[in-house]
Structure 1
Amino acid sequence: MPSRSRQEWIRLSMRTPGILIFGMVLAPCGLILNLTSTVAPNWRTLTEFQNRPADEFLQQGIWEVCRASSINTRIDCSLQDATYFQQQIIEVARGLMVASLIVTLVGLAVAIPGVRCWKDRPNWILAGLGGLLIFLSGVMTIIPIAWYTHIFRTIPTVSINTAAPPNPAVQVGYCIILGYIGGIFEILGGLVMFIGICRCCGGKNRGETRVEEVTGTRFRNQKRPTRRVEVPSLDRARSSASSSIPYSKDSMDEDVSFPRAKSTAARTVNTSNGGRPYDVDL
């Protein structure tokens, strides 16, 4: 066999590799969670206002501020809060969250043609680039979410003066939790898909095997066919008189596995002359 400078790899099945399935499942889930976190007005919740009903609370997002009540389901989202929306964290969060959604869609559009299970092998370049874009989109989600979580108690608002006592109770909204989960999903999914560009773990991460290993295993597993030798049976047929088991003549004849010699025909004696044989007969 001629020596090869590069090792040749082969895929033994057309099944999509597990790392691509993992990334293509987590990326859309992260996209949905990040979309909910972006448009929903609940990045933080303010309760226990002074001179306000006890059941009333305020929900603030990056696009609007809503007043709601725990008694009824009516929500008023027509509140204006210029002080809150002019904060740097709000402007940065708007830009990064929208950019994250766009980059995720672009990453999925690039990765889908590379993750085609009806081909012999995926296009690892396209799948890896799509995974890289999805990874970056997850990072762009985590940055504003983590920054907002770090300072969410000190963000000023004209709806209620957080610096004057008594301070209202400030709680983290569900958008922060969804943003964290969605960002982590995209980071993990994109990173795992990007790993597919590199052939590591002996090619197992890409579902590939070296050609030498495949051919060597086949030759080792091949067994030399055994030669069948037919040995004639030497068992003698028992006589019907000495055995307690009845045997028929036909069964004894069939038991012999080798051809028998033909018996010579009995000589006929010409007895037409008074029963005396001729000399020719003798």
Structure 2
Amino acid sequence: MPSTSFIHFRTPGILIFGMVMAPCGWILDLTATVAPNWRTVNNLPTEAADIFLQQGIWDICRASTSNRELQCNQQDEAYFNEQIIEIAQAMMVASLIVTLIGLAVAIPGVRCWRERPNWTVAGLGGLLIFCSGVLTIIPIAWYTHILTNITAASTDIQVGYCIVLGYIGGIMEILGGFVMFIGICRCCGGKNRSERVVRNTGRAARNTTAPTRITVPSMTSRSPSSASSVPYSKDSFDQPDFRRPAPRASSKASSYGAQPYDADL
């Protein structure tokens, strides 16, 4: 009985790359959006030397180097009234939403159980993911550029970890979205559209062809009436059709002929 074979369709590598990079970038962008550490303000004039402020786009926390306790919900109207803060809030939230929409659009086009992916749908999803990365990079780069110009109680200002996470997340989304989008066009001679079909049978296919039966003549029966499927019988080997050569004469001929000698008497 022939074995049933299952066909698995391999998802193109550029789509796998985009679908891995986009969620990772989204997680980093989410952390950069909600965490209150876009910059760190040290050496506050009215505070102790070990006290510093962690300022984000949604909240400000007061921390200390001597302990790990954070006191958030600090008020600073001058800081939150800065133009970059309002723009960063809007663009970071928009980036998170656009990334989710891009993933929702790309997933139906990248489904691996189809014979071929829907390159148009996957490419549009990649375009949305690319745009979400741009929406992240713009406020991050702008905030970094005017880092020391934003209102602060001290001039000792350092870049926070949210800036680093935002850069990494935005770049990952840009790369993932761009790689997915190039599948929509025929670049590189169309090599990016060559999907391979892998057949997995689980075991090697068995040969189901019935073996051919060969009739072998019986070697024990010498009856001439016995049937045989070959045009000769065993007795034919006992009587060869060729003439055997005559036996060679003895190389040692008698030199004395037929007459007796004295020694023979």
TM-score normalised per structure 2: 0.71
Q: How much does 1:72 deviate?
A: 1.2
Name the counterpart of 2:54.
Answer: 59
Name the counterpart of 1:156.
Answer: 151
Instruction: Please give the alpha-carbon distance, in whole angstroms, between the structure 1 residues aligned to 2:166 and 2:193.
Output: 30
* Counterpart amino acid of residue 44 in structure 1: R
Name the counterpart of 1:201.
Answer: 188
Instruction: Please give the alpha-carbon distance, in whole angstroms, between the structure 2 residues aligned to 1:262 and 1:171.
Output: 107
SS in 2 for 1:23: helix
Residue deviations 1:178-199, cap 9 Å, x none?
Answer: 0000000000000000000012
Name the counterpart of 1:176.
Answer: 163
- The counterpart of 1:85, out of the listed 60, 63, 80, is 80
Q: How much does 1:203 deviate?
A: 2.4
Q: 1:263 to 1:194 in 2, by over 3 A?
A: same
Residue deviations 1:81-107, cap 9 Å, x none?
Answer: 111001110000000000000000000
Name the counterpart of 1:192.
Answer: 179
Instruction: Please give the alpha-carbon distance, in whole angstroms, between the structure 1 residues aligned to 2:48 and 2:192.
Output: 59
CA contact (8 A) 1:14 1:117 kept: yes
Name the counterpart of 2:90.
Answer: 95
Q: Could you list the runs of 5+ residues in structure 2 that have no partner in the other structure?
A: 1-6, 197-231, 240-265
Q: Are 2:71 and 1:76 equivalent residues in the alignment?
A: yes
* Counterpart amino acid of residue 150 in structure 2: I
SS in 2 for 1:58: strand
Residue deviations 1:144-182, cap 9 Å, x none?
Answer: 00000000111014xx1x4xxxx3x10000000000000
Name the counterpart of 2:213.
Answer: none
Q: Could you list the runs of 5+ residues in structure 1 that have no partner in the other structure?
A: 1-11, 210-257, 265-282
Q: 1:123 to 1:259 in 2, by over 3 A?
A: farther
Following TM superposition, the consecutive aligned residue runs of length 4 or more in structure 1 with deviations greater than 2 angstroms are: 206-209, 258-264
TM-score normalised per structure 1: 0.67
Q: Aligned pairs, how many?
A: 198
Q: How much does 1:50 deviate?
A: 1.9
Instruction: Please give the alpha-carbon distance, in whole angstroms, between the structure 2 residues aligned to 1:201 and 1:195.
Output: 10
SS in 2 for 1:76: coil
* Counterpart amino acid of residue 137 in structure 1: S
Q: Identity rate of aligned residues, in percent?
A: 68
Q: How much does 1:208 deviate?
A: 4.4
Q: Are 2:9 and 1:14 equivalent residues in the alignment?
A: yes
Give me the CA root mean square deviation.
2.1
Instruction: Please give the alpha-carbon distance, in whole angstroms, between the structure 1 residues aligned to 2:237 and 2:43.
Output: 118
Q: Are 2:91 and 1:104 equivalent residues in the alignment?
A: no
Q: Are 2:136 and 1:133 equivalent residues in the alignment?
A: no
